[in-house]
């Protein structure tokens, strides 16, 4: 065989290929394999090496992407699933929503509150210093202005043991659930106004609807 037949192979590849093919060939002890046969085996090994490299690279990328996704979800964009009916009809039990962590909230925003190892989804009604009033029919006024609440189907005073008008303390938020007849929220002293430290984030959008 001419030397040029093996010009594309380095010494290690050549030795490995020849010995492998001699081991596979029952007549290997008597004659060396043809150059074309060596090339075919060489191409197979190159293909396998490239495939292993691609698979390893892809797996590494997937691991990194998963780690970044978990980090982002934990630190900046938590994902939670709604449990319970206190936010109906806006959100239903089983819905999955995306939050954004922030320390800035405004009236009307949906927010997630940490309370006794639970996560509660409520709507911000009053900011620090606001005066809240709720009448017997469930109409809500903030700073003596009746607020429009199209998201509430059945207005109700609900579970309430505080006196109105009520002034929201400093560093606190007054929150209500949209289903006023069943929601336990800032109207009840069991929860009361929530502090900014309790705020997990505000709702960004719904990822999945259970209905």
- Please provide the DSSP assignment of 145-202 as one string: EEPP-TT-SS----S--S-SSEEPPTTEEEEE-SSTTT--STTSTTT-SEEGGGEEEE
What is the reported pLDDT for 68?
A: 55
In the chain, the largest separation of any two C-alpha atoms, in whole Å, equals 104
What is the reported pLDDT for 58?
A: 78
What is the reported pLDDT for 209?
A: 87
Specify the higher pLDDT residue, 57 or 34: 57
What is the reported pLDDT for 52?
A: 79
Encoded tokens for 55: 């698979």
What is the reported pLDDT for 13?
A: 61
What is the reported pLDDT for 47?
A: 77
- What is the signed CA dihedral for 178, 181, 186, 191, rounded to 10 degrees? -110
Under DSSP, the state recorded for 88 is T
Give the C-alpha separation, 83 to 203, whole Å: 15
* Per-residue model confidence as pLDDT tens digits over 180-200: 999 999 999 999 999 999 999
Residue 28 clears pLDDT 50, i.e. is over it? no
Reduce the DSSP state of residue 111 to 3 states and report it.
strand
pTM beyond 0.85:
no
Angle of helix 35-75 versus helix 11-24 axis, rounded to 10 = 110
Task: Read off the pLDDT of each residue in 137-165 and give the average, rounded to a whole number.
Answer: 94
Task: Read off the pLDDT of each residue in 83-106 and give the average, rounded to a whole number.
Answer: 92
Q: Model confidence at 210, in pLDDT bands (50, 70, 90)?
A: confident
The least confident of 24-28, 54-58, 102-106 is 24-28
What is the reported pLDDT for 120?
A: 93
Check: CB of residue 92 under 8 Å from CB of residue 209: yes
The least confident of 49-53, 114-118, 132-136 is 49-53
Is 15 exposed, middle or buried, given 0-12, 13-18 or 19+ CB atoms closer than 10 A? exposed
Residue 164 clears pLDDT 70, i.e. is over it? yes
Give the C-alpha separation, 86 to 181, whole Å: 9
Instruction: For residue 190, give every residue at least 6 positions away whose Cβ sits within 8 Å of its Cβ, in sequence order, or none.
Output: 184
């Amino acid at each position: 065989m001419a030397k040029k037949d093996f010009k594309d192979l380095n010494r290690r590849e050549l030795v490995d290929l020849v010995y492998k093919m001699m081991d596979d060939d029952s007549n290997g002890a008597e004659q060396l394999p043809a150059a074309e046969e060596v090339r075919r085996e060489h191409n197979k090994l190159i293909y396998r090496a490239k495939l292993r490299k691609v698979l390893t690279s892809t797996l590494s990328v997937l691991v990194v992407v998963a780690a970044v996704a978990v980090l982002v979800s934990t630190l900046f964009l938590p994902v939670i699933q709604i449990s319970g009916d206190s936010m109906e009809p806006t959100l239903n039990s089983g819905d999955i929503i995306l939050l954004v962590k922030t320390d800035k909230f405004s009236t009307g925003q949906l927010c997630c509150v940490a309370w006794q190892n639970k996560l509660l989804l409520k709507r911000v009604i009053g900011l620090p210093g606001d005066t809240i009033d709720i009448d017997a029919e469930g109409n809500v006024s903030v700073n003596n202005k009746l607020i429009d609440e199209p998201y509430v189907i059945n207005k109700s005073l609900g579970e309430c043991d505080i006196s109105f008008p009520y002034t929201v303390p400093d560093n606190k938020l007054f929150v209500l659930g949209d289903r006023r007849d069943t929601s336990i929220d800032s109207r009840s002293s069991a929860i009361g106004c929530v502090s900014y430290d309790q705020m997990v984030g505000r709702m960004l959008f719904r990822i999945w609807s259970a209905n």
